[in-house]
Amino acid sequence: MGDPINLISRWFNDLLLGWGVAENLVKVISLAIGATIVATLSLATVIALIWVERKIAGRLQDRPGPNRAGPYGLFQPFADIIKIFTKEITIPDGADHVAFNIAPVLALGSVLLIWAVIPFAATVVGANINVGVLYIVAVGSFGVVAVLMAGWSSNNKFALLGSFRAVAQMVSYEVPMVIALLTPVLLARSMGLNDIVAAQTPWFIIVAPLAALIFLITSMAEVGRAPFDLLEAESEIVAGFHTEYSGMGFGAFYVSEFLHVWTIGALIATFFLGGWSGPGVETLPVLGILYFYLKTFIGYFVVTWIRLSLPRVRIDQLLAFNWKFLTPLSLAVLIVTAILDKALELAAVERWAYALMMLAANLIIGWATVLILKAIEPKRKRQRVEFTPRPIAVAPKSVDNVSSR
């Protein structure tokens, strides 16, 4: 009773079987329908997200945000969509047509594919594969390829520069991200996403807060949103790798970026906030979907909040932050977590004591990191630049020596 989605799918399967459709075909049909629903739902979420994000941005910047089309500006995204659909699609001269047109599709697909393994509720999972975490990392690499293709095929220097930046950033931030993801895998003893969710008593954000923090930072860099939006730094390289795209080509990149942020929220919810778990899910598994979406929204809101609050970092700061700070820290967290987890398991401590000690270990690592950073980094005094007032206009010198030549 508590699981209408599986009930419907079973009823549908029985119906098809009753009509005399072959069993394998029924399986294929129901999987195809499920995939379509998940993909469509994710894309439909983006419509709402565009409104939500613009509203949040407006409120944080002390302005009302969209408020003209419909009540509370709710129809604003539809106006945007109609606008983007009616725009002319231009392909630059000398562009590589096939690669140019495939790239946005690939970018959107790489994000959509992640949703195939995300558990919405205990029983509502697209594909509960046992290598779920690796799958997420693997699918993300198609996004890198899409960015490279878009930048190269546009036949535009800014696009190529943007895609170089993007790939350097995405590839290097993938290292601490994967290491940070190993911590929940290690704690849950499984790479399947549903097992990770089921293992979260208490939530992993308490057991492994540093891993959660590293994952949040690195996945923001992976999407390339402020403060890591160097790949489309408007003031430096026009719009980065999608400079030459217009109409729905640009729309696909735009949607994939929004969806990626939402997906990060979903991943944070799944890995660190307990996914679908919450009070009452044992008796009514469908409640899990509600909890999952609530937690996803929390993750999404945090990412948006950071995006709107922080300025863009420099490229050397970006890379130094990754290689000198995040990667060593994530390795330290992983090693300490592994050793402590095994030791506490052998000592057979209570669950709450286990969580507390894990939390304490994480806090100690964080504190030690801050101390080390302070010791290594020489204290830079902010230098005051002497300002000598200059007159705005200077009287011209005598014009004689100019005219004599």
Partner 1 sequence: MSGLEIFFLVVAVVTLVAALLVVTTPNLVHAALWLILALFGVAATFVLLNATFLAVVQVVVYIGAIAVLMIFAIMLTRRVMKDSGPQTNSNWVWAALLGLALFGGLTFVLLHSDAAGVSLPALSAHADPLAQLGQELVSPNAYVIPFELASVLLLAAMIGAIVVAWKN
Q: Which is nearer to partner 1, 181 or 281 (CB)?
A: 181
CB of 144 to partner 1, least distance (A): 6
C-beta of 45 vs 110, nearer to partner 1: 110
- Kindly indicate which of the ranges 163-171, 259-267, 282-290, 360-368 contains the residues binding partner 1, using the contact rule CB under 8 A: 163-171
CA–CA gap between residue 320 and residue 342 (Å, rounded): 33
* Window contacting partner 1 (CB under 8 A); options: 59-67, 166-174, 275-283, 292-300: 166-174
Q: For 284, list phi and psi in degrees, rounded to 5.
A: -135, 85
Which range of residues in 9-17, 69-77, 141-149, 251-259 is near partner 1 by CB under 8 A?
A: 141-149
DSSP 311: P
For 72, which DSSP code?
G
Compute how many other C-beta atoms are within 10 angstroms of the C-beta atom of residue 302. Answer: 15
Nearer to partner 1, 12 or 142 (CB): 142
Interaction of residue 128 with partner 1, rule CB under 8 A:
no
- Taking CB under 8 A as the criterion, the residue among 89, 131, 343, 368 binding partner 1 is 131
- State CA 38 to chain mean position distance: 18
Among 74, 81, 91, 167, contact with partner 1 (rule: CB under 8 A): 167
Q: By CB under 8 A, name the one of 90, 141, 201, 309 that touches partner 1.
A: 141
Select the span of 75-83, 137-145, 219-227, 316-324 touching partner 1 (CB under 8 A).
137-145
Stretch that binds partner 1, among 1-9, 118-126, 148-156, 397-405 (CB under 8 A): 148-156
Beta bridge partners of 119: 125
Nearest residue (CB) to partner 1, 146 versus 358: 146
User: Which one of residues 7, 8, 171, 284 is an interface residue with partner 1 (CB under 8 A)?
Assistant: 171
Complex with partner 1: residue 93 or 350, whichever CB lies closer: 93
Residue 177 burial class via C-beta count within 10 angstroms: exposed 0-12, middle 13-18, buried 19 and up: buried
Q: Which of residues 17-36 bind partner 1 (CB under 8 A)?
A: 24
Q: Which of 108, 121, 125, 174 binds partner 1 (CB under 8 A)?
A: 174
Question: Is 308 in contact with 56 (CB distance < 8 Å)?
Answer: yes
Indicate left, alpha or beta for 202 from its phi (over 0: left) and psi (-120 to 50: alpha).
beta
The residue (of 188 and 210) whose beta carbon lies closer to partner 1 is 188
* Number of residues in contact with partner 1 under rule CB under 8 A: 25
Pick from 310, 149, 312, 156: nearest CA to 238? 156
Which amino acid does the sequence have at 312? Answer: R
316's CB contacts (< 8 A; 6+ apart) are none
Return the percent helix, strand and coil in the chain, to nearest 5. 70, 0, 25
CA distance 193 to 132: 6
Residues that bind partner 1 (CB under 8 A): 24, 96, 99, 129-131, 134-135, 137-142, 144-145, 148-149, 152, 160, 164, 167, 171, 174, 191
